[in-house]
Structure 1
Amino acid sequence: MYFAMNRFRIALGQEEAFEAIWKNRDSSLAENPGFKEFRLLRGETVADEGYTLFVSSSTWNSHDDFVAWTKSENFRAAHRNAGENRALYLGPPKFEGFTVVDGA
């Protein structure tokens, strides 16, 4: 199993706008082979640095399934308008990928 995560630092006061973008997006993740689950997580507010942390987390059967999605038309379509909302972000998202080593 493979977990793909992007960490987003969202400017204070822009949290609801960021959440709305994700809730209203046209997602086709479920159509991709190997896709299992998606979650958008809202983390702690870091007031002294001016942001709230969010994580988009997707679970895949394998790393190969995830990579295949990143090369697909579905991926390009999902990210086509990503640049339109730059004012919400404090820097680019940070990607982190994990393969399960042990688990129940």
Structure 2
Amino acid sequence: MYYYTLPDEFVRTQMAVGALVLFGVLRVICAAMGAQHGWRLSTVTRCFIGAAVLFCLPQLLDVLMSSPMSHRAFVELQGKAIGCALALFCAPIVSHRLGYE
């Protein structure tokens, strides 16, 4: 029986792009909703930082508990963290360019 696994770079890239798209699009949408409802943008940003931590929490716990699959979880955690960081950095720029911030 053969087991085929993807290289670490592919897994890391897929996780990063998924998190970037998810949090980037949601952050721009929430900035637009916040502009209409009068929400403070610092509150929206803090909520998204908390959501990013919750998004990365399963892999973080798996790495900390050092299960046998912790290498795979570490690679996924790296990708998710990179994608979340990029999204939380770039989404306010896009929102500002669209006129919501």
* TM-score, normalising length: structure 1: 0.29
Larger Cα-atom Rg: 2
- In proportion to residue count, which structure has more strand? 1
TM normalised by structure 2 equals 0.30
